[in-house]
């Protein structure tokens, strides 16, 4: 087993934190399975990963569609018979006052921020062995409330609770579940958020990517249940 490639699935790998995590994990001995909707962007991340010595496969898919997720996980598991690491980093945010928040926006936020995580974990877990790791990328919004962000906050709170529950369910099998809670990170998400934001006081995606890689580098028996990372400047 030790001489086989470590199979690492990164969902949301085309940009932002997911892309940064993929590149931070790209190294000899790793086979990255990169999933997102943007096939062209995935191809660029795969090429950069191979330059760092990793093997890489791309699987364009909709992380909220169960048939897509099932096929993607089965493809990853077929590489070595297992999934060693799953990173859930598909993202997006709807920001609007409660009175203006539509049902469609609410449901889309929950599907991207919570249902996609459920689907990936559900289908990956049967292929995971002792020492395997699930990393769910949440946000400090899982612990803090922000006005106008109710749909996003609800999804991140839900992700945190879901992760805690499956951690206990998978613990007897030796499968670990970590949640990363980044503060504001300078990604394309902020391009469409109303208001003025000091992006100089935000984390960079590479900061969070390195933190995820550090979790993956922990011994197989070590569980970091939650990791909060923020800018030294504090809240925006």
Digit-by-digit pLDDT tens for the chain (236 residues) are: 345 789 999 999 999 999 999 999 999 999 999 999 999 999 999 999 999 999 999 999 999 999 999 999 999 999 999 999 999 998 788 888 999 999 999 999 999 999 999 999 999 999 999 999 999 999 998 998 888 889 999 999 999 999 999 999 999 999 999 999 999 888 877 777 777 778 888 999 999 999 999 999 999 999 999 999 999 988 76
Compute the distance between CA of residue 13 and CA of residue 154 in angstroms, rounded to an integer: 23
Count of domains observed in the chain:
1
pLDDT at 37: 93
In a domain, 60, yes or no: yes
Contact 155, 113 (CB under 8 A): yes
Residue 103 vs residues 100, 112, 195: alpha-carbon distances, Å? 10, 14, 23
Rg (CA), the chain: 17
Question: Is-catalytic flag, 221?
Answer: no
Compute the distance between CA of residue 74 and CA of residue 61 in angstroms, rounded to an integer: 13
Q: Which domain holds residue 212?
A: 6-229
Alpha helices in the chain (DSSP H): 16-25, 39-51, 66-80, 103-110, 116-124, 150-170, 205-216
In a domain, 236, yes or no: no
In a domain, 109, yes or no: yes
pLDDT at 189: 79
In a domain, 235, yes or no: no
Candidates 46, 152, 153, 178; catalytic one: 152
Sequence-distant (≥ 6) Cβ neighbours of residue 222 within 8 angstroms? 176
> Residue 75 sits in a domain of what CATH number?
3.40.50.720
In a domain, 234, yes or no: no
């Amino acid at each position: 087993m030790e001489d086989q490639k470590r199979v690492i699935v990164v969902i949301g790998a085309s940009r932002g934190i997911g892309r940064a995590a993929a590149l931070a994990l790209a190294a000899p001995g790793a086979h990255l399975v990169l999933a997102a909707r943007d096939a062209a962007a995935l191809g660029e991340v795969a090429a950069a990963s191979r330059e760092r010595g990793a093997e890489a496969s791309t699987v364009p898919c909709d992380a909220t569609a169960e048939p897509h997720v099932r096929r993607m996980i089965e493809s990853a598991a077929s590489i070595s018979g297992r999934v060693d690491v799953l990173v859930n980093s598909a993202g997006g945010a709807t920001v609007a006052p409660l009175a203006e928040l539509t049902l469609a926006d609410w449901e889309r936020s929950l599907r991207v921020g919570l249902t996609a995580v459920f689907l990936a974990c559900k289908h990956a877990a049967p292929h995971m062995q002792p020492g395997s790791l699930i990393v769910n990328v949440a946000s400090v919004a899982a612990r803090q409330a922000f006005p106008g962000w109710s749909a996003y906050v609800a999804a991140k709170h839900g992700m945190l609770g879901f992760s805690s529950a499956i951690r206990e369910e998978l613990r007897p099998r030796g499968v670990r579940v970590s949640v990363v809670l980044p503060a504001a990170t300078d990604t394309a998400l902020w391009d469409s958020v109303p208001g003025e934001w000091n992006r100089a006081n935000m984390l960079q995606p590479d900061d969070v990517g390195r933190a995820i890689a550090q979790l993956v580098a922990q011994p197989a028996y070590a569980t970091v249940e939650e990791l909060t990372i923020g800018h030294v400047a504090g809240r925006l």
